[in-house]
């Protein structure tokens, strides 16, 4: 890559937008620099499943024409973005990391995709992910795993590992992920980036391929808190096409990110978010972060949320049950893969053969778990009981937020583990989402941002911030203050430490 390209890809999204608006850079120059970076490194990283070079350059040229004509540009106009391959995109493939949708070209855009285009954000392509967002490592993709740019032999998190790896390897300054049990925050944690799960219903799910409808939530991924806030503002807002969409104003997240402060805030620390299974370096960096919050003027409050210990068990009944229902639509008859349609098999046989060939092991595992939990005689014992636990978790959060403004915890119990290490141990894999799942069950907002490197392996550690529903601005207010303090301490954002590819 040329020196000018290197300079461009190291800019934040806010800086890129500002330079394009001022005429210091063109959107085409910025897009070409990131496309060149993708060409140079993605063979090793495998962050992208599809790169839409022609489409991205066409979007960039349109931004430059707008500017030349004196038209008003949005706050992210011309900024490139990597889009998780779970959102439909008219004219380019959407696979959800599965063979069952290989080659499917959607005839329409998801609402989130439309909002990105309307804001003149340049979509570079679609990123790799665990099949149907089921996983914590991006090893369950039908198209092969993604590597963590800090160490390509390690996982970049999941299910949105492609989006987080694209950010950490400077292939894009912005990305979109989805979070069902932590799939935005967990990848952010292990790659040293920023990821936000907005309040459930704050970002439209229309056109987002469903995994678990009461838990799924799209959200912004970036390298800085301000960049995440700018993207959050673009994608959030009521959508009449989504019955779960919240009809309320978007919280002032950008203003909060520009005016970060924790002075006088009450910050909760939950005793259930530590103990056995937590890596020593993760606990050390978290404890340092809590001390920093105190130095910045926050009051630290110890919290006891006993139902959080049941969150993992409840999640792995609720999510598979909903996935078993949602994935019934993939029958090999209407779209996507079709196997066995040679005139000798019935429709039912074609459906069975297609699902056998098209779904991976983890998807099959969750469908079977969910179907069993919903079956006659077991519904009340399993799914019904899990929903009662979900209510208890929500009540624990409500009680906690009567005492504090936000809650903090480690985002993940460990740093990035080696690819393949937990492939044959689903329970060990599921534990990666131990700290993130309670927030999804309650529908609250949460963020992960980098809080240093674990001393034993020199890999990123994430700090999770949790806020009440529709108080997403608190995430950015606290996150920006913590980020500024860390930048002052390190002299630069943590992402600068990532090894060069």
| Residues with catalytic function | 84, 159, 183
Give the span between the Cα atoms of 464 and 447, in whole angstroms: 6
Structure tokens at 375: 């079956």
The torsion defined by the Cα of 472, 478, 482 and 487, in degrees rounded to 10, comes to: 60
Exposed, middle or buried, 189 (CB in 10 Å: 0-12/13-18/19+)?
buried
Q: Coil, strand or helix: which one is 38?
A: helix
Give the span between the Cα atoms of 249 and 393, in whole angstroms: 26
Structure tokens at 331: 């029958």
The torsion defined by the Cα of 180, 174, 13 and 207, in degrees rounded to 10, comes to: -70
CB-based contact 194:213 (threshold 8 Å): no
Helices assigned H by DSSP within 375-445: 385-403, 426-430, 437-442
Q: Coil, strand or helix: which one is 144?
A: coil
**Cα-flanking dihedrals φ and ψ of residue 338, to 5°?**
-135, 125
Q: Is 332 left (phi over 0), alpha (psi -120 to 50) or beta?
A: left
- For the chain, the C-alpha Rg in angstroms (whole number) is 21
Buried b / exposed e over 245-267, threshold 16 CB at 10 Å, is bbeeebbbbbebbeebebeebeb
> What are the beta bridge partners of residue 196?
447
C-alpha closest to that of 338 among 359, 355, 321: 355
Give the span between the Cα atoms of 136 and 411, in whole angstroms: 13
């Amino acid at each position: 890559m040329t020196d000018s390209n290197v300079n461009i890809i190291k800019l934040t999204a806010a800086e890129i937008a500002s330079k394009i608006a001022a005429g210091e850079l063109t959107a085409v120059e910025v897009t070409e620099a990131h496309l060149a970076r993708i060409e140079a490194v993605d063979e090793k990283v495998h962050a992208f499943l599809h790169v839409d070079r022609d489409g991205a350059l066409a979007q960039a040229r349109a931004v430059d024409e707008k500017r030349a004509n004196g038209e008003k540009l949005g706050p992210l106009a011309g900024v490139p973005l990597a889009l998780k391959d779970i959102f439909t995109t008219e004219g380019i493939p959407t696979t959800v990391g599965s063979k069952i949708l290989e080659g499917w070209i959607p005839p329409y855009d998801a609402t989130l995709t439309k909002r990105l285009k309307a804001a003149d954000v340049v979509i570079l392509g679609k990123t790799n992910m665990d099949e149907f967002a089921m996983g914590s490592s991006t090893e369950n993709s039908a198209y092969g795993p993604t590597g963590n740019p800090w160490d390509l032999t390690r996982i970049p998190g999941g299910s949105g590992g492609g989006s987080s790896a694209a950010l950490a390897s400077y292939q894009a300054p912005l990305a979109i992920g989805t979070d069902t049990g932590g799939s935005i925050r967990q990848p952010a944690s292990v790659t040293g980036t920023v990821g936000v799960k907005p309040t459930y219903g704050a970002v439209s799910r229309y056109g987002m391929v469903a995994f678990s409808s009461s838990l799924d939530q799209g959200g912004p991924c970036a390298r800085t808190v301000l960049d995440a806030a700018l993207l959050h503002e673009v994608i959030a807002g009521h959508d009449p096409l989504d019955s779960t969409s919240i009809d309320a104003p978007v919280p002032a997240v950008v203003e909060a990110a520009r005016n970060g402060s924790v002075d006088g805030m009450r910050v909760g620390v939950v005793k259930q978010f530590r103990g056995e299974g937590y890596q020593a370096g993760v606990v050390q960096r978290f404890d340092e972060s809590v001390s920093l919050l105190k130095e910045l003027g926050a009051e630290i409050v110890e919290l006891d949320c006993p139902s959080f210990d049941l969150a993992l068990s409840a999640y792995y009944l609720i999510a598979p049950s909903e996935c078993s229902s949602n994935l019934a639509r993939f029958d090999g008859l209407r779209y996507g893969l079709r196997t066995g349609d040679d005139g000798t098999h019935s429709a039912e046989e074609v459906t069975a053969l297609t699902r056998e060939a098209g779904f991976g092991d983890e998807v099959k595992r969750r469908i079977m778990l969910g179907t069993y939990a919903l079956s006659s005689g077991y519904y009340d014992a399993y799914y019904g009981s899990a929903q009662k636990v979900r209510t208890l978790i929500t009540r624990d959060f409500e009680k906690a937020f009567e005492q504090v403004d936000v809650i903090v915890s480690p985002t993940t119990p460990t740093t990035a583990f080696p690819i393949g290490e937990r492939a044959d141990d689903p329970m060990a894999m599921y534990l990666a989402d131990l700290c993130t799942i309670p927030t999804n069950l309650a529908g609250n907002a949460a963020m992960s941002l980098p809080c240093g490197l674990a001393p034993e392996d020199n890999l990123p550690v994430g700090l999770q911030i949790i806020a009440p529903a529709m108080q997403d601005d608190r995430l950015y207010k606290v996150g920006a203050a913590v980020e500024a303090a860390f930048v002052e301490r390190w002299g630069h954002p943590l992402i600068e430490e990532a090894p060069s590819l």
